[in-house]
Structure 1
Amino acid sequence: MSVTTQTTYTSASQAMPIGTPRHHIIIFAVLLGLLLIAPFLLYPVFIMKILCFALFASALNLLLGFGGLLSFGHAAFFGSASYVTAHAAKVWGLTPEVSILLGTGSAAILGLLIGALAIRRQGIYFAMVTLAFAQMVFFFALQAPFTGGEDGIQAVPRGNLFGVLSLADDRTLYFVVLAIVFGGLLAIYRIIHSPFGQVLKAIRDNEPRSISLGYKVNRYKLAVFVMSAALAGLAGSTKSLVFQLASLTDVYWTMSGEVVLMTLLGGMGTIFGPFVGAAVIVTMQNYFASFGAWVTVLQGTIFVISVLLFREGIVGVLSKWIKKPL
């Protein structure tokens, strides 16, 4: 290791926070406490939808907010995992945990294949490449015989977790989903605050300098792309069991747009921003459903207002006010 690289690595290590900040521990504890009592106060399926999309948005935020890579095709991983999990549970009769693992694994493999090609481009070209691949996945889902075409895969059985715990009850399933999503959020938090995460931020901020210091930039980009794809797949797999459905909506380009909106609205590059963004968008879709197609107009209006008033996102502005990272 060269002297320059070693000095830079030492500086980066010293810049890393020692231990988890106290306010982050408090936020995680309060969030977990609220989520534990939520199914007794609100409709469990509604909360589970927020949780699934919060994980999905957090997966994209790992790539966009900390890796600096804008993907317009993340629905490919979310939707493909949803289809694989639904098919494994319904056709193959596998248990839910195995079905979710298969869905997550398939998303990771797809992320490896797409990422290996996409990272050769930068900026808007990277985004367009991911969108092109996502459209290929969409047309595959539309034409493949085992995906059900426009009908999708319906009546997906929730099954018994580890062959013992029945997930037929919404509240029972809720706590399983909570464990999966909260575990995913903690994994993302650990990745961000690891030496790997510090290098990602360096690449995001100044890629040419990172290359000059000897870092294999494309390897880091590919690694974070695969991680993000796998976590998006975990969200899609979980969602297919919650709603017992895998449909073309999961792989359509508008799904990629929605998750980008959630990330930007909550606060790109923040820990808790995607969760807030997902909660806002899903709540709007749920309570404004009676407006029909006007929901998208309302979403666009609120997004424009939020961008004008909260340029760094809701959590980003809050973080700026209290002068602490969120």
Structure 2
Amino acid sequence: MTNRSILAASGRTSSGRTASGRPASGRNVELIVFAVLVAGLTVAPLMVYPILLMKVLCFALFACAFNLLIGYGGLLSFGHAMFFGFAAYVSGYTIKAWGFPTELGILAGAAVAAVLGLVAGSIAIRRQGIYFAMVTLALAQMVFFFCLQAPFTGGEDGIQAIPRRPIFGVIDISRDIVLFYVVLAIFAAGFLIIWRTIHSPFGQVLKAIRENEARAISLGYAVDRFKLMAFVLSATLSGLAGATKAVVFQLASLTDVTWQMSGEVVLMTLVGGMGTVFGPIVGAAVIVVMQNTFTGFGEWVLVAQGCIFVLTVLLFRRGIVGEIVALAQRRRGEEDAAPPPVAEPADKQPPSDRGGVRASAAAGPSEASAPVSS
């Protein structure tokens, strides 16, 4: 398809602006914000426990991958934990039992998640709306029971004591501070892949499908193929996050593949701002820090998460970042709509502002014509 049809499907013009005439995107601003975020994270381990930071980064990547599917593709999945958790099992098993290097174990987990996403996506995209969500939930439950019964997963105990082998044989990740920078690099790479996808022609078609699928079909797009590609990419990056988390905590357990985990990533995305670039990162940080802070309250943390979910849906549907962006756009709109200053009429200006013409006339003819004495 041509760029013209892509722009038509997404409601944009060839000048790079939307139909409303506003700039198409703030890509440079997003990159600057991301650079500042990464720069801040490089010094964060000096002030915050590295394990907590790595957990936030893993779930932030998971939420960003999920947001690619729901926020830009309009596809709600209730089964994304199957990619996150199953990749953790694959990564942990290949590293511990087969002796894979850490980087190959992580890549193996992401690759298996991609294959699983291809199979699950091929089945799920045949349905739309709530039916799509229910199909993904059913498939996730099948994966959960497989992980519970399979001999290599360790059952309810999971795979424990996953070794941290050196990255590329030279980077010793046995220290948390070193592993943190590896996790930060993985997160940055995954985020940039998502960011580039969002701002590519492929991403514009996804937005067009989300806004008006019938129109995208009428323009000749193979809608199901685009949905499947988005689903597989989201599953792959979710698997990358899960495999990385298994290395961080040296554990792959059933917790990562339960339907509750699928609910948590939905909550993170909603709290931060669905369909925004940085919303899932903020949402993941809020939820993970809340869980870590109130871990002593046991099951009451789940009650608090449920309350946050309800309040977000009822009162802050745009999420934290979404509300901030909407507020900034309203203020910018008010500034653009403000009328320009109008010059005062000549008859209302003070005499000194009009070159002394009226002042000379008021002085009388004798004073106006009198010679200037030296």
Task: Find the counterpart in structure 2 of residue 51 from structure 1.
Answer: 57
Q: Distance in 2 between matches of 1:177 and 1:209?
A: 41
1:304/1:5 CA distance change after superposition, 3 Å: closer
Q: Does 1:111 align with 2:117?
A: yes
Q: Distance in 2 between matches of 1:7 and 1:310?
A: 30
Instruction: Give the Å deviation of 1:19.
Output: 8.3
Distance 2:304 2:118 in 1: 36
Question: Quick one: distance in 1 between partners of 2:7 and 2:143?
Answer: 44
Match of 2:250 among 244, 254, 264: 244
Instruction: State the percentage of identical aligned residues.
Output: 62
The 1:321–1:165 alpha-carbon spacing in structure 2 relative to 1, beyond 3 Å, is: same
Q: Aligned with 1:165: secondary structure?
A: coil
**Partner secondary structure for residue 159 of structure 1:** coil
Deviates more, 1:315-324 or 1:90-99: 315-324
Which of residues 299, 303, 306 is equivalent to 2:309? 303
Which secondary structure does the structure 2 equivalent of 1:166 belong to?
A: coil
Equivalence map 1:230-269=2 (5 Å): 230-269=236-275
Q: Which amino acid aligns with 2:65?
A: A
1:8 match: 8
Which structure 2 segments of 5+ residues have no match? 18-22, 331-374
Name which of structure 1's ranges 61-70 and 30-39 shifts more when overlaid on structure 2.
Answer: 30-39
Q: 1:92 aligns with which of 84, 87, 98?
A: 98
Q: Please tell me whether residue 294 in structure 1 is matched to residue 300 in structure 2.
A: yes
- Residue 136 of structure 1 is matched in structure 2 by 142
CA contact (8 A) 2:65 2:235 kept: yes
Instruction: Judge conservation of contact 1:13–1:195 (CA < 8 Å) in 2.
Output: no
How far residue 15 of structure 1 moved from its aligned partner, in angstroms, is: 3.6
Contact (CA 8 Å) 2:270, 2:312: kept in 1 or not?
Answer: no
Cross-structure match for 2:155: 149
Alignment CA distance shift 1:303-1:95 (3 Å)? same
**Which whole-Å deviations, capped at 9, do the CAs of 1:268-312 have from their partners, x for residues lacking one?**
000000000000000111001111111111112233333343221
In the alignment, which of 324, 329, 338 is matched to residue 323 of structure 1? 329
Distance 1:7-1:43 versus aligned 2 partners, 3 A rule: closer
Please list the CA deviations of residues 27-62 of structure 1 after superposition, one character each: whole Å capped at 9, or x if unmatched.
Answer: 112211111111110000000000000000000000
User: Deviation digits for residues 108-128 of structure 1, max 9, x if unmatched?
Assistant: 000000100100000000000
- Once the two structures are TM-superposed, the CA of residue 12 in structure 1 deviates from its matched residue by 5.8
Structure 1 partner of 2:168 = 162
SS in structure 1 at match of 2:162: coil
Please tell me whether residue 73 in structure 1 is matched to residue 79 in structure 2.
yes
Larger RCO, structures 1/2 (Cα 8 Å, 6+ apart): 1
CA RMSD of aligned residues (A): 2.0
Residues 216-268 of structure 1, C-alpha deviation per residue, up to 9 Å, x if partnerless? 00000000000000000000000000000000001100000000000011000
Alignment of 1:197-276 (within 5 A): 197-276=203-282
Code of the aligned partner of 2:48:
L
Whether 1:26 and 2:32 are equivalent positions in the alignment is: yes
Partners of 2:3 and 2:154 in 1: CA distance: 58
CA distance in 2 between partners of 1:78 and 1:3 (Å): 35
Contact 1:4 1:213 in 2 (8 A): no
Hey, what's the Cα distance between the residues in 2 that align with 1:153 and 1:178? Answer: 24
Letter paired with 2:205: V
The alignment covers a number of residue pairs equal to 324
Distance across 2 between alignment mates of 1:101 and 1:136 = 23
> Whole-Å Cα distance in 1 between the matches of residues 33 and 228 of structure 2?
31
- The 3 A distance-change label for structure 1 pair 309 and 146 is same
Alpha-carbon separation, structure 1, partners of 2:282 and 2:33: 13
Distance 2:94 2:274 in 1: 34
Contact 2:5/2:219, CA 8 A, preserved across alignment = yes
User: Shift in Å at residue 318 of structure 1?
Assistant: 0.3
Aligned AA (1:177): V
Structure 1 residues 14 and 102, CA, compared in 2 at 3 Å: closer, same or farther? farther
